[in-house]
Amino acid sequence: MNPDERRNAIVNATVSVMVQKGMAATTVRDVAQQMGTSSGLIHHYFATMDELLAAAFDQAAGQDLEATRAAMANCHGPVQELTAFFSTYARAEQEWTFQLWLDAWSEAARRPDVRETSRRLNVAWQQLLVQTISAGAKDGVLVCPDPEAAAWRVLALLDGLVLQAVAHRVPIGREQVIAWAVAHAETELGLPAGSVERFRRPRAARVPSVRSCGRQARTV
């Protein structure tokens, strides 16, 4: 492998270990064992564990973001974009993905690189909504005096509901999470009930490398 390929292999192995053991429990030794190599090789490419965990989280979570961004880019109008956003929101559909986010939020207080990465990605999710809401308000399709605040409220409700379902094991199904979040978004943005379609995320929107991590997590 050339240096870039080797670095990517280390990141991929770290994602796999994080999915299985959790971010806090992942060690350099675990990653080296996953790759069948020495810990010294890992240290050659990543100075600290914080840096390595941040890179792995960036890859796993970032691909979901790009999948949603691509789905929204192929839509016509803000209502279709909102439909794409909710139908491809991986944190609500894949328990292992949201667990990584929970780990990142928990570790952020102690790991600056992880904190910066999770903050950047979370803001990027919020900005996807801001762009759609702003364009819709400008065209008169949506009613929203403060797109920035509205986007945070929609995202916070969605993630809060997923938190209850995944971390607290409250008996709320994924479909119910999406339905409630969509209903709130419609009210928030002045849309008639039922304007944003509610349907399961299409398989084509999933990113193969992320999906494979999900399969690994389910077999542990």
Q: CATH code at 145?
A: 1.10.357.10
* Domain assignment of residue 193, yes or no: yes
* Domain assignment of residue 31, yes or no: no
* Domain assignment of residue 19, yes or no: no
Range of the domain at 142: 60-219
* Domain assignment of residue 153, yes or no: yes
pLDDT at residue 207 is higher than 60: no
* Domain assignment of residue 121, yes or no: yes
* Domain assignment of residue 3, yes or no: no
Q: What is the pLDDT of residue 92?
A: 60
* Domain assignment of residue 110, yes or no: yes
**pLDDT tens-digit series, residues 91-147:** 766 778 888 999 999 999 999 999 999 999 999 999 999 999 999 999 999 999 999
Q: What is the pLDDT of residue 142?
A: 97
pLDDT at residue 213 is higher than 90: no
- Number of separate domains in the chain: 1
Prediction pTM value:
0.84
* Domain assignment of residue 44, yes or no: no
User: What is the full DSSP assignment across the chain?
Assistant: --HHHHHHHHHHHHHHHHHHH-TTT--HHHHHHHHTS-HHHHHHH-SSHHHHHHHHHHHHHHHHHHHHHHHHHT-SSHHHHHHHHHHT-HHHH-HHHHHHHHHHHHHTTT-HHHHHHHHHHHHHHHHHHHHHHHHHHHHTSS--S-HHHHHHHHHHHHHHHHHHHHTS--S--HHHHHHHHHHHHHHHTTPPTT-S---PPPGGGS-HHHHHHHHHHHH-
